[in-house]
Amino acid sequence: MLAHAGERAVLLVAPTGAGKTLAGFLPSLIDLASGGREGLHTLYVSPLKALAADIRRNLLAPVEELGLPVRVEDRTGDTPQAARRRQRAEPPHILLTTPESLALLLSHEDAPHLFAGLQRVVVDEIHALAESKRGDQLFLLLSRLEALAPGFRRVGLSATVEDPEAMGRCLAPAPRDATIVRAPSGAEPDLSMMSRRPPPWAGGAALHAIPEVLDLVRAHRCTLVFHNTRAQAELFFHHLWMQNDEGLPIAIHHGSLAREQRQAVEAAMQRGELRAVVCTGTLDMGLDWGEVDLVIQMGAPKYVKRLVQRIGRANHRAGGRSRAVLVPAHRFEVIECVCAIEAAREGDLDGQTRGPGPLDVLCQHILIRACSGPFAADDLYAEVRTAGPYRDLPRADFDACLDFCATGGYALRAYDRWRRLVEHDGLWRLRDPRSARRIRMNLGTIEDKGTLKVRLRGSQAPLGEVEEYFASTLSPGDTFLIGGQIVRFESLREASVEVSRRRDREPRVPAFGGGKFPTSVALTRRILGLIEDRSAWVRLPRHTAEWLDLQARISRLPAWDRLLIETFPAEGRWHAALWGFAGWNAHQTLGLLLTRRMEAEGLDPLGFVATDHALLISGLRPVEAPARLLEPEGLRDGFEGWLAGNAVMKRTFRGVATIAGLIERQMPGLRRTGRQATFSSDILYDTLQRYDPGHLLLRVTREEAQRGLVDWGRIEEMLARVGPRIDHVRLTRVPPLAAPLLLERGRVPVEGRGRERLAEEAAARLLEEAGLDAL
Amino acid sequence: MNGTAHSLVLHRTHCLLLASGALFVPEADLLCVADLHLGRSERAARRGGPLLPPYETRATLERLEEAVALAKPATVVALGDSFDDDAAAHALDPGDRARLLALAEGRRWVWVAGNHDPGSMGAVPEWRGAGLVFRHEARAGAEAGEVSGHFHPKAACPGLRGRRPCFVTDGRRLILPAFGAYTGGLDTADPDLRALFADRAIAVLTGHRALAVPLPPARRCGAGG
């Protein structure tokens, strides 16, 4: 690391916790050891508040032992106001912070003074940041710092990633690239799949494997049990405890639990009191837990890169060999787990290239810049183009963002009387300096998913959070799982869900958003490669190889450059299974589009199920010509019309509009005065669609949804690789590969015309039952 | 009931709760709307808040025009919070103002004052007609036949996604949904709102059709605890 201390940008790629964090600080400590320095020298940015605090403790030890004249402090959302004020007046030499707190620091007028002497910036877990808008924001903030302290050195610390050069381009001041330094990888990890018994045909939480998981926990010092979604983690943890007869100390940790509860688990872990933690992506990174000697991945990992990072959580101290066991949750995941293990062994990592920097984050950055003082548009444009993700930003896009920040960017220009930013003598500034406070309160790009706190009745301490939508489906008396305990819903109060500890019914599992990633393209390619290559089936457990063999004899095997469509009757319905291998999101979108076309053609579709590999559409009549339904032109036309009114778009819009500063996060005190004061972002979305369809935020929303939740890109990719090679197989009974699809949960009903009438009937019944039909 | 309105007797007056969110009283030829919140985006921008899309006044007026064209009432009662604040009433876009005046032409137009617009357009604190009393905010212990707004009630119905703006009534008092485009909602289960009604009460959801659903009884203190 020291050899590269003088370079502008260095990306250090090393497995989790290989001591790279301290390596990142070494040049700073040497610089500062001679003493006599004033002001902020080094900034450390990490995605986790806890990490900032932890690094401070780790840094203070050598600083104090060696008696170095170095002040180290952290600054996050948890830092008290008084300490924050003091930090701005008398900055420490080394400041440890998060992207959001850095944004706040840079929004103040004294930022030029504070950062004038900055020498180094260390970005920890940069691979995690770079996957989200938090990274885009951070790289924009670095461009601001570059203007305040030209030439400072940048160090990025990254776990193993597939394309370090691309990440280096985010870190370095454009048009430069970063120097990539790769730490030698440790011992080959010990990877295996649990296959003593065949997994069930469908399902996601792998409850069948609980006895074996308990055996593994017993045989190890400390185990991390990773799940792909919070809901699955909750369900698994609940059932695990029912079978944990000897009371092994096992805890649960995920992003919807209350902070206090997560901290308690982390502390118990550090004291070595836990034998296992059931967790989700929240433990993919963060504190170094040396005691962990086994990682269990429940369900297919979906991304090889993520699997590799999770494996790195075990035994990484002192170059030990990491051990990981993969547990397929259902039969198809056996194939996926085998492929993921092979890819991990070969170091064949996958990833999604992120597009250019999103414009909603740029809008927020412009507002941050305006808060700190007047600026010239040309200067700011030149500055943001030094941020890696924005290096190719067209001037027109920048101007559209500036216009949005200044006037709202509406086609109706009567609004000129009320501006947020005004231009005087070539400099842009806030019209009303008081608006800086509101802008600061809404900084950051972490999505507010509209969650409600869950509290025990009569207690202030929250147990965790559930999504508003889930809360709205609860009736008093319903029970659900949170933090592994069954609670009974009592009432909705002051934006929190009141529960009691009663348990009289089978609990429901809350719907937590996020976390359901589609299988990566690279991994999908491997899966299809294995299915197509009969001689490779020896690498599969026998039960799975036999299943594929049966499929080949009864129907056909799916292939990379062909699209297999099977139509067959079952349970009094007609089904069409499309083996698109385009990922869960894309299949869901395809399902919505195809059922719409089927409805128009009078094929009476009833619903569909989307999985990562296939789409199963069920209806009252058989699909005779599936190829025609899939004809790209028609599909694309339908897509445009459908997209506008789609719920996914509205959800995406909410995130975009919040980040861009159109919607404010809850203002303090507002909650008290009643919820009728705040209205849903859906209303704004509908209004813009109707009166201003060309608006910037609608454009940003469309682009983002097509890449993300709607995943239109992968539909196009699938149609392109398949071309005209569509194999329609008509069967009289259920084909082997498709059989589990009939058992899948999460069927999406088709909302036909009769929906409102059905609701009317339900309402009339309710009125009659309540004896209110006369009112 | 043809679905576009829910018919009921409030106190002693026959009322039609329209799916649009307006109330029509046939015997008085009267249309009543609550909480238009015109000028909401203008007010937010003026006060240094977010620059909301400036189309809500247009959207609200379009809906109001439709409701008036259908009912052709002799009297229109705007039940308070017609403007997001008094200044918003003065800052109304000239085009929007002309539309509003055109709507009021040839009929009696009553502005009831709300908490947002206490002093606009010569608004009155309350207004009596057709055996009913119209005021912005319901009063605890008010006489029967009270019609009000203010709460922006919303309710859900099994089979429908999300909550919709709704009327709430127990036959003695009626609360209207907010008619304005940029308005949020308060769930009918909210204790402050629920406490205004007898145990036997209904919500009438707005939308394409007026949909009546029972209101769950108020939670009694100590029940289930």
| Contact status, residue A441 vs residue A665, Cβ threshold 8 Å | yes
Q: What is the mean pLDDT of residues A534-559?
A: 95
Instruction: Mark whether A637 and A730 lie in a shared domain.
Output: yes
Q: Judge: A775–B50 Cβ closer than 8 Å, yes or no.
A: no
A745 against A198, higher pLDDT? A198
- Which residue in A441, A676, A690, A756 has the most chain B C-beta atoms within 10 A of its own C-beta, making it the best mutation to test that interface? A676
| Contact status, residue A160 vs residue A308, Cβ threshold 8 Å | yes
- What does the alpha-carbon distance between residue A435 and residue B49 come to, in Å, rounded to a whole number? 7
Q: Judge: B214–A687 Cβ closer than 8 Å, yes or no.
A: no
Q: Judge: A408–B52 Cβ closer than 8 Å, yes or no.
A: yes
Q: Model confidence at A749, in pLDDT bands (50, 70, 90)?
A: low
Select from A661, A664, A759 the Cβ nearest to the Cβ of B211. A759
Q: What is the mean pLDDT of residues A627-652?
A: 78
Nearest CA to B163 out of B194, B189, B187, B190 is that of: B187
- Which residue in A416, A418, A685, A695 has the most chain B C-beta atoms within 10 A of its own C-beta, making it the best mutation to test that interface? A418
- What does the alpha-carbon distance between residue A154 and residue A121 come to, in Å, rounded to a whole number? 5
Instruction: Mark whether A488 and A399 lie in a shared domain.
Output: no
Show which of A182, A216, A235 is a domain's final residue: A182
Instruction: Mark whether A130 and A156 lie in a shared domain.
Output: yes
Residue A506 is predicted with a pLDDT of 67
Q: Any idea what the CATH number is for the domain that residue B154 is in? A: 3.60.21
| DSSP structural state of residue B178 | B
| Contact status, residue B197 vs residue B188, Cβ threshold 8 Å | no
Q: Which two tokens stand for residue A285?
A: 């990174």
Q: Which residue of A has its CA nearest to B14?
A: A775
Q: Judge: A763–B169 Cβ closer than 8 Å, yes or no.
A: no
Q: Which amino acid is at A763?
A: A
What would the pLDDT profile of A687-728 be if each residue is shown by its tens digit?
999 999 999 999 999 888 887 777 888 898 899 999 999 999
Residues in Cβ contact with A569 at an 8 Å cutoff, skipping those fewer than 6 apart: A575, A622, A732, A733
| Contact status, residue B112 vs residue B140, Cβ threshold 8 Å | no
Domain with B15, as residue range(s), is 5-214
Lowest mean pLDDT among A3-7, A468-472, A476-480: A468-472
- What does the alpha-carbon distance between residue A116 and residue A112 come to, in Å, rounded to a whole number? 6
Instruction: Give Cα A640 distance to the centre of its chain.
Output: 26
DSSP assignment of A440-469 equals: HHT--------EEEEEETT--SEEEEEEHH
Residue B223 falls within a domain, yes or no? no
Q: Could you tell me which residues are beta bridge partners of residue A775? A: none
Residue A669 is predicted with a pLDDT of 41
User: How many domains does the structure of chain A reveal?
Assistant: 5
Q: Judge: A687–B181 Cβ closer than 8 Å, yes or no.
A: yes
- What does the alpha-carbon distance between residue A53 and residue A56 come to, in Å, rounded to a whole number? 5
Q: How many CB atoms lie within 10 A of CB A81?
A: 7
Calculate the alpha carbon distances from A80 to A83, A371, A539 in Å: 5, 22, 57
Residue A745 is predicted with a pLDDT of 65
Lowest mean pLDDT among A240-244, A532-536, A648-652, A692-696: A648-652
| Contact status, residue B73 vs residue B105, Cβ threshold 8 Å | no
Q: Which two tokens stand for residue A407?
A: 């006037």
- What does the alpha-carbon distance between residue A488 and residue A443 come to, in Å, rounded to a whole number? 36
What would the pLDDT profile of A381-405 be if each residue is shown by its tens digit?
999 999 999 999 999 999 999 999 9
- What does the alpha-carbon distance between residue A517 and residue A205 come to, in Å, rounded to a whole number? 15
Residue B1 is predicted with a pLDDT of 43
Instruction: Give Cα A325 distance to the centre of its chain.
Output: 24
Q: Judge: B200–A758 Cβ closer than 8 Å, yes or no.
A: no
Q: Judge: B186–A457 Cβ closer than 8 Å, yes or no.
A: no
Q: Judge: B158–A762 Cβ closer than 8 Å, yes or no.
A: yes
Residue A425 falls within a domain, yes or no? yes
- What does the alpha-carbon distance between residue A559 and residue A529 come to, in Å, rounded to a whole number? 8
- Provide Rg for chain A, Cα atoms: 27
Residue B22 falls within a domain, yes or no? yes
* Cis peptide upstream of residue B165 (ω within 30 degrees of 0): no
Show which of A441, A466, A486 is a domain's final residue: A441
Task: Measure in Å the smallest separation between the Cα of A767 and chain B Cα atoms.
Answer: 6
Q: Which two tokens stand for residue A726?
A: 């569509």
Q: Model confidence at A576, in pLDDT bands (50, 70, 90)?
A: very high
Calculate the alpha carbon distances from A299 to A207, A246, A302, A435, A755 in Å: 10, 25, 9, 48, 36
Residue A742 is predicted with a pLDDT of 87
A752, pLDDT greater than 90: no
- Which residue in B51, B55, B137 has the most chain A C-beta atoms within 10 A of its own C-beta, making it the best mutation to test that interface? B51
- What does the alpha-carbon distance between residue A775 and residue B214 come to, in Å, rounded to a whole number? 10
Residue A400 falls within a domain, yes or no? yes
Q: Judge: A678–B3 Cβ closer than 8 Å, yes or no.
A: no
| Contact status, residue A629 vs residue A598, Cβ threshold 8 Å | yes
Instruction: Give Cα A401 distance to the centre of its chain.
Output: 25
A753, pLDDT greater than 50: no
Q: Judge: B158–A457 Cβ closer than 8 Å, yes or no.
A: no
What would the pLDDT profile of A82-132 be if each residue is shown by its tens digit?
998 899 889 999 999 999 999 999 999 999 999 999 999 999 989 889 988
Residue B30 falls within a domain, yes or no? yes
Q: Judge: A775–B200 Cβ closer than 8 Å, yes or no.
A: yes
Residue linked to tokens 């600080």 = A25
- What does the alpha-carbon distance between residue A567 and residue A390 come to, in Å, rounded to a whole number? 47
User: How many domains does the structure of chain B reveal?
Assistant: 1
Lowest mean pLDDT among A280-294, B104-118, B186-200: A280-294
Task: Measure in Å the smallest separation between the Cα of A516 and chain B Cα atoms.
Answer: 22
Average pLDDT along chain B: 89
Nearest CA to A654 out of A607, A694, A615, A709 is that of: A709
Q: Which residue of B has its CA nearest to A495?
A: B190
Residue B82 falls within a domain, yes or no? yes
| Contact status, residue A73 vs residue A117, Cβ threshold 8 Å | no
Average pLDDT along chain A: 85
Select from A676, A690, A771 the Cβ nearest to the Cβ of B185. A676
Q: Judge: B160–A759 Cβ closer than 8 Å, yes or no.
A: yes
Select from A490, A662, A675 the Cβ nearest to the Cβ of B186. A675
A347, pLDDT greater than 90: no
Q: Judge: B156–A674 Cβ closer than 8 Å, yes or no.
A: no
| Contact status, residue A326 vs residue A301, Cβ threshold 8 Å | yes
Residue A670 is predicted with a pLDDT of 43
Predicted complex ipTM: 0.89
Instruction: Mark whether A461 and A370 lie in a shared domain.
Output: no
Residue B219 falls within a domain, yes or no? no
Q: What is the mean pLDDT of residues A744-760?
A: 57
- What does the alpha-carbon distance between residue B43 and residue A677 come to, in Å, rounded to a whole number? 13
- Report which listed range, A64-68, B161-165, B176-180, is most confident: B176-180
Q: Judge: A476–B224 Cβ closer than 8 Å, yes or no.
A: yes
Which residues of chain B are within 8 Å of residue A441 when distances are taken between CB atoms?
A: none
Q: Judge: A410–B163 Cβ closer than 8 Å, yes or no.
A: no
Q: Which residue of A has its CA nearest to B59?
A: A687
Residue B220 falls within a domain, yes or no? no
Task: Measure in Å the smallest separation between the Cα of A370 and chain B Cα atoms.
Answer: 14
Residue B225 falls within a domain, yes or no? no
Select from B53, B56, B160 the Cβ nearest to the Cβ of A692. B53
Q: What is the mean pLDDT of residues A723-747?
A: 88
B225, pLDDT greater than 80: no
Residues in Cβ contact with A230 at an 8 Å cutoff, skipping those fewer than 6 apart: A254, A255, A256, A280, A510, A512, A515
What per-residue string of b and e applies to A7-22 under the rule 16 or more CB within 10 Å gives b? ebbbbbbbbbbbebbe
Task: Measure in Å the smallest separation between the Cα of A436 and chain B Cα atoms.
Answer: 9
Q: How many CB atoms lie within 10 A of CB A543?
A: 13
Domain with A311, as residue range(s), is 190-346
End-to-end alpha-carbon separation of chain A, Å? 79
> Could you tell me where the beta strands, DSSP code E, fall in A14-71?
42-45
Instruction: Mark whether A455 and A562 lie in a shared domain.
Output: no
- What does the alpha-carbon distance between residue A106 and residue A365 come to, in Å, rounded to a whole number? 10
| Contact status, residue A139 vs residue A388, Cβ threshold 8 Å | yes
What would the pLDDT profile of A134-159 be if each residue is shown by its tens digit?
999 999 999 999 999 999 999 999 88
Instruction: Mark whether A176 and A195 lie in a shared domain.
Output: no
Q: What are phi and psi for residue A511, nearest 5 degrees? A: -85, 110
Q: Which two tokens stand for residue A293?
A: 């000697």
Q: Which two tokens stand for residue A408?
A: 């709202």
Q: Which residue of B has its CA nearest to A658?
A: B50
Q: Judge: B151–A676 Cβ closer than 8 Å, yes or no.
A: yes
Residue B195 falls within a domain, yes or no? yes
Q: What is the mean pLDDT of residues A17-21?
A: 63
Residue A746 is predicted with a pLDDT of 62
Instruction: Mark whether A721 and A605 lie in a shared domain.
Output: yes
Q: What is the mean pLDDT of residues A732-743?
A: 90
Instruction: Mark whether A393 and A475 lie in a shared domain.
Output: no
B36 against B187, higher pLDDT? B36
3-state secondary structure of A569: strand
- What does the alpha-carbon distance between residue A258 and residue A453 come to, in Å, rounded to a whole number? 8
Which residues of chain B are within 8 Å of residue A760 when distances are taken between CB atoms?
A: 3, 209, 211
Instruction: Give Cα A20 distance to the centre of its chain.
Output: 25
Which residues of chain B are within 8 Å of residue A772 when distances are taken between CB atoms?
A: 200, 202, 212, 214
Residue A548 falls within a domain, yes or no? no
Show which of A401, A422, A441 is a domain's final residue: A441
Residue A308 is predicted with a pLDDT of 87
| Contact status, residue A469 vs residue A511, Cβ threshold 8 Å | yes
| DSSP structural state of residue A371 | H
Q: Which residue of A has its CA nearest to B191?
A: A493
Q: How many CA atoms lie within 13 A of A335 on its CB side?
A: 27
Instruction: Mark whether A207 and A118 lie in a shared domain.
Output: no
Q: Any idea what the CATH number is for the domain that residue A146 is in? A: 3.40.50.300
Instruction: Mark whether A169 and A212 lie in a shared domain.
Output: no
Instruction: Give Cα A320 distance to the centre of its chain.
Output: 30
Select from A476, A684, A775 the Cβ nearest to the Cβ of B52. A684
Q: Judge: A415–B45 Cβ closer than 8 Å, yes or no.
A: yes
Instruction: Mark whether A196 and A177 lie in a shared domain.
Output: no
Nearest CA to A577 out of A745, A728, A713, A717 is that of: A728
Residues in Cβ contact with A45 at an 8 Å cutoff, skipping those fewer than 6 apart: A97, A98, A99, A102, A121, A122, A123, A124, A138
Instruction: Mark whether A210 and A266 lie in a shared domain.
Output: yes
What would the pLDDT profile of A425-460 be if each residue is shown by its tens digit?
999 999 988 889 989 988 988 876 667 788 888 887
Q: What sign for the dihedral angle of Cα A124, A128, A134, A140?
A: positive
Q: What is the mean pLDDT of residues A23-46?
A: 88
Q: Which residue of A has its CA nearest to B58?
A: A691
